[in-house]
């Protein structure tokens, strides 16, 4: 049995459903562009092409300089078309045989008769006007400018975003494939961690697994014993006893779904006491945030929960024990000028965080008799923790 020309994440009917959902509320045609490979040092020498995620999500096969059109009232098949750039005489030599229109249409869940040349897109969008979605590719944006296409409104963009927030079983399957490959690459790389090894050697083990699976990275990996530099260039350092290695790297499936996996490991293979405490703190934050991630919860609540747990861990480890200054400016709320600056002066609404303000005042007084303000914070936090435990 022959392999499909394109590695698509979902079957054709899934793409038709997604396009039909958009067709219900569109008031003008929507042109979704794939983009193109970005040039390295001259136009013909480009970085690997990755189609725009919107183009892939609605069924666009991985074609450079292509567009997918969805018209108002479309049922996902009728009212949709694909526009592609015709192959040049040298393309077969450099890139191999080009996929046929029938291959393109089948991957997208469309009839062969709705695959056209890109230049004909103007005729389908010019009279009524149209919206567009496009990646930040220079040639694509120049083409859109010529067509005088308009961007989506905030409300229309939100509708698209809300649709993509819910992943179907096909998308989840593609994400799991990427996760499995990413975890295999992590295991291979972390097995090579030892004092005297280099970051580059660890990175080579990671990339070898990805290459064997014919996939790429979704972002530049961070493989570093200097994790405080989040996006350092290259892998220049040698691993030493007592250091921690930050390993933030993953895989992107051939259908362009990805994930983000981060681990931190001791170079020696064993945590010291402080490292173990911090590792357990981060792990507790992860587990509690996963448990709290339920329908109806806001992202901000999960973020704040993680920050609270991390802060508690840092206080317990006394890693915030350095000098600090804390200016406080609390208006009385009396007087005309204060009414301008203090919004609660002219109303009976309770002042938020009044208890915290009193606590800060107490910390400020306490800091006069201790080595630094952070020590006072730590003592109050520990006392509060002990009080909660006793109740």
Residue 59 maps to a domain: yes
pLDDT tens per residue, range 300-344: 999 999 989 998 888 888 776 544 444 444 444 444 444 433 454
Residue 330 maps to a domain: no
Do 185 and 155 sit in the same domain of this protein? no
Do 182 and 308 sit in the same domain of this protein? yes
Spatial neighbors of 38 by CB under 8 A, at least 6 apart, are: 46, 47, 137, 138
Do 270 and 361 sit in the same domain of this protein? no
On the 0-12 / 13-18 / 19+ scale of CB atoms within 10 A, 56 is buried
pLDDT of residue 109: 95
Q: For residue 31, what pLDDT band results from cuts at 50, 70 and 90?
A: very high
Residues 104 and 82: beta-carbon distance below 8 Å: yes
pLDDT tens per residue, range 34-83: 999 998 888 888 888 999 999 999 999 999 999 999 999 999 999 999 99
Residue 58's closest CA among 66, 68, 49, 50?
68
Residue 326 maps to a domain: no
pLDDT tens per residue, range 95-141: 888 899 999 999 999 998 999 999 999 888 876 689 999 999 999 99
Element housing 339 (H / E): helix 336-341
pLDDT tens per residue, range 166-179: 999 999 999 999 99
Give the end of a domain, one of 282, 316, 350: 316
Do 38 and 117 sit in the same domain of this protein? yes
Do 51 and 162 sit in the same domain of this protein? yes
Residue 243 maps to a domain: yes
Q: For residue 350, what pLDDT band results from cuts at 50, 70 and 90?
A: low
Give the end of a domain, one of 151, 166, 181: 166
User: Sheet of 115-117: strands edge to edge?
Assistant: 115-117, 80-84, 67-70, 30-33, 131-133, 150-151
Residue 174 to residue 181: CA distance in whole angstroms: 11
Number of H helices, E strands in the chain: 14, 11
pLDDT of residue 90: 82
Do 153 and 175 sit in the same domain of this protein? no
* Domain limits for position 378: 336-390
Is residue 8 over pLDDT 50?
yes
Number of CB atoms found within 10 A of residue 198's CB: 14
pLDDT of residue 338: 42
Q: For residue 148, what pLDDT band results from cuts at 50, 70 and 90?
A: very high
Do 108 and 224 sit in the same domain of this protein? no
Do 239 and 352 sit in the same domain of this protein? no
Residues 266 and 244: beta-carbon distance below 8 Å: yes
**Pairing verdict, β 150-151 and 131-133:** parallel
Domains contained in the chain, number? 3
End-to-end CA distance of the chain: 68
């Amino acid at each position: 049995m022959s392999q499909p020309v394109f590695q698509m994440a979902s079957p054709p009917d899934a793409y038709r459903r997604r396009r039909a959902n958009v067709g219900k509320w569109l008031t003008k045609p929507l042109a979704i562009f794939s983009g193109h490979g970005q040039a390295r040092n001259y136009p013909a020498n480009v970085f690997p092409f990755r189609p725009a995620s919107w183009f892939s999500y609605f069924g666009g096969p991985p074609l450079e300089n292509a567009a997918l059109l969805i018209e108002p009232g479309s049922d996902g098949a009728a009212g949709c078309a694909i526009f592609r750039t015709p192959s040049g005489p040298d393309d077969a030599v450099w890139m191999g045989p080009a996929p046929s229109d029938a291959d393109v249409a089948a991957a997208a869940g469309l009839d062969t008769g709705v695959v056209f040349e890109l230049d004909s897109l103007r005729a389908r969008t010019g009279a009524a006007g149209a919206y567009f979605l496009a990646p930040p590719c220079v040639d694509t944006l120049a083409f859109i400018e010529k067509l005088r296409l308009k961007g989506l409104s905030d409300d229309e963009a939100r509708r698209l975003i809300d649709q993509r927030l819910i992943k179907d079983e096909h998308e989840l399957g593609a994400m799991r494939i990427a996760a499995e490959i990413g975890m295999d690459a992590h295991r291979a790389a972390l097995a090579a961690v030892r004092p005297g090894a280099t970051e580059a050697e660890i990175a080579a083990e990671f990339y070898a697994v990805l290459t064997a699976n014919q996939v790429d990275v979704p972002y530049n990996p961070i493989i570093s014993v200097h994790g405080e530099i989040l996006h350092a260039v290259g892998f220049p350092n040698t691993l030493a006893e007592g250091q921690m290695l930050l390993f933030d790297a993953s895989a992107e499936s051939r259908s362009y779904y990805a994930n983000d996996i981060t681990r931190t490991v001791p170079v020696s293979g064993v945590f010291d006491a402080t490292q173990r405490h911090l590792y357990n703190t981060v792990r507790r934050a992860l587990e509690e945030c996963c448990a709290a991630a339920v329908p109806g919860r806001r992202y901000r609540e999960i973020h704040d929960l993680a920050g609270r747990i991390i802060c508690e861990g840092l206080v317990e480890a006394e890693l915030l024990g350095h000098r600090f200054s804390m200016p406080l400016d609390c208006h009385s709320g009396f007087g005309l000028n204060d009414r301008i600056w203090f919004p609660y002066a002219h109303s009976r609404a309770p002042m938020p965080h009044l208890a915290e303000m009193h606590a800060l005042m107490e910390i400020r007084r306490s800091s006069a008799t201790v080595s630094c303000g952070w020590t006072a914070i730590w003592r109050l936090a520990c006392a509060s923790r002990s009080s909660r435990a006793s109740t």
